[in-house]
Amino acid sequence: MINFEQFAYAACIAFCMFGYGYIFGLMKGHDSGARSANFHRDMEDERRRKLAAELDAAREREAP
């Protein structure tokens, strides 16, 4: 026969495992990885565009 303490301990472990899986399931959502990769790619593209614009401006200033 299972006593209350064992039942409470097992229920706590099951609840914690469910919570852990639920939280990490939300963090690793259906397309959140793709959305994150697109965001970082867009940030990198924007940074490259700014650097290219600064380089072009510097070349125009130095051109005779």
**pTM for the full predicted model:** 0.42
Q: Compute CA 34 distance to the chain's CA centroid, rounded to the nearest angstrom.
A: 9
Q: Do 58 and 35 fall into the same domain?
A: yes
Q: Do 43 and 64 fall into the same domain?
A: yes
Instruction: Express each pLDDT in 30-58 by its tens digit.
Output: 555 566 667 778 888 899 999 999 999 99
Number of folded domains that form the chain? 2
Owning domain of residue 43: 31-64
Predicted local distance difference test score (pLDDT) of residue 63:
76
Q: Do 35 and 59 fall into the same domain?
A: yes
Predicted local distance difference test score (pLDDT) of residue 34:
60
Q: Do 62 and 50 fall into the same domain?
A: yes
Q: Do 41 and 64 fall into the same domain?
A: yes
Q: Do 55 and 35 fall into the same domain?
A: yes
Q: Do 47 and 57 fall into the same domain?
A: yes
d(CA 40, CA 2): 53
Predicted local distance difference test score (pLDDT) of residue 35:
63
